[in-house]
């Protein structure tokens, strides 16, 4: 049950991953980033998500070290994710990108490593590299990000290991219900990035009404909606009060009607690129 901040889901290879983590997309290197990661860990978060393209792995690593010390925990108590960018999607490039990320983070291994986008025709080579790194014990779980159903089907034609995670844009205006169903049927854990739609949906009247009913914020209602549908979350924030607020999700439960109301807000509207048409 997702009934506390450190509750975990078991991925398809047996690795345990927290349901809730901290995302650091668009957070630049510097004291604010280090403090945000440290604050999250001392507040009880055990999952931190970054990526090579964010350009902030060094600061994340510093925040992890400070957070571990402040919270009196071990590296093994944390779940750290990074991602390989599109410029490194051949076999050797992916291995090199992985080593660079580890070095910047100051870690000996990663808990989860993802292919960030399904680059045209290249992601199979990258997946082969991830499989090898996984077999060598350098990564505890491997997965993908921004993959549609057809990308997953294509990947699995040749893959020896099934992705443990598919991290995608998901929020009330983009519910991706077909993709969610597919992943659940195939034992791939769906994870939501930008679950709060970068703040653009927080004044929605339906969400505000549901939030008022539970004396919660619209953000907390959205995150709870995801959790109750068994979706892993990495909301981004650098502000201590928001980091705390985003974790305060475990003392209320949405009804089936609430969930249907939120599902009905879907407009298939993306704030990020479309995985089928992106060109970077």
**Section 208-221 average pLDDT:** 97
Facing residues of 148 across strands?
Answer: none
Q: Which residue has the tokens 């089907």?
A: 153
pLDDT per position as a tens digit, 17-37 = 999 999 998 888 889 999 999
Catalytic residues: 54
Q: How far is CA 111 from CA 140, 151, 170, 215, 262, in A?
A: 5, 23, 22, 35, 32
| Domain residue limits, the chain | 8-199+231-245
- When pLDDT is cut at 50, 70 and 90, the band that residue 263 belongs to is very high
- When pLDDT is cut at 50, 70 and 90, the band that residue 2 belongs to is low
What is the predicted pLDDT for the residue at 86? 84
Facing residues of 78 across strands?
Answer: none
Q: CATH top-level class for 8-199+231-245? A: alpha beta
Q: Which of 46-50, 104-108, 146-150, 235-239 has the lowest mean pLDDT?
A: 235-239
pLDDT per position as a tens digit, 71-94 = 999 999 999 999 998 887 889 999
How far apart (Å, rounded) are the C-alpha atoms in residues 80 and 243?
Answer: 17
pTM: 0.95
Identify how many contiguous H helices and E strands the chain contains and give both numbers: 10, 10
What is the predicted pLDDT for the residue at 183? 98
């Amino acid at each position: 049950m997702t009934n506390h901040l450190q509750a975990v889901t078991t991925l398809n290879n047996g690795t345990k991953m927290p349901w809730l983590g901290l995302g650091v997309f668009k957070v630049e290197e510097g004291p604010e980033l280090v403090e945000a990661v440290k604050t999250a860990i001392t507040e009880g978060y055990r999952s931190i998500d970054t990526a090579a393209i964010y350009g902030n792995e060094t600061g994340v690593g510093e925040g992890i070290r400070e957070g571990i010390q402040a919270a009196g925990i071990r590296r093994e108590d944390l779940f750290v994710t990074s991602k390989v960018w599109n410029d490194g999607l051949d076999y050797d490039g992916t291995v090199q990108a992985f080593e660079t990320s580890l070095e910047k983070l100051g870690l000996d291994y990663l808990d989860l490593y993802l292919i960030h986008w399904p680059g045209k025709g290249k992601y199979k080579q990258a997946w082969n590299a991830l499989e090898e790194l996984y077999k060598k014990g350098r990564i505890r779980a491997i997965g993908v990000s921004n993959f549609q159903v057809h990308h997953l089907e294509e990947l699995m034609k040749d893959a020896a290991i099934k992705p443990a995670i598919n991290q995608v844009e998901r929020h009330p205006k983009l519910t991706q219900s077909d993709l969610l169903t597919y992943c659940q049927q195939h034992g791939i854990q769906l994870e939501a990035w930008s679950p709060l739609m970068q703040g653009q949906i927080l004044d929605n009247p339906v969400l505000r009404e549901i939030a008022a009913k539970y004396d919660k914020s619209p953000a907390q209602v959205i995150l709870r909606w995801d959790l109750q549908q068994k979706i892993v979350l990495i909301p981004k924030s650098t502000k201590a009060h928001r980091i705390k607020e985003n974790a305060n999700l475990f003392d209320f439960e949405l009804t089936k009607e609430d969930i249907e109301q939120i599902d009905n807000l879907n407009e298939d509207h993306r704030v990020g690129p479309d995985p089928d048409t992106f060109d970077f």
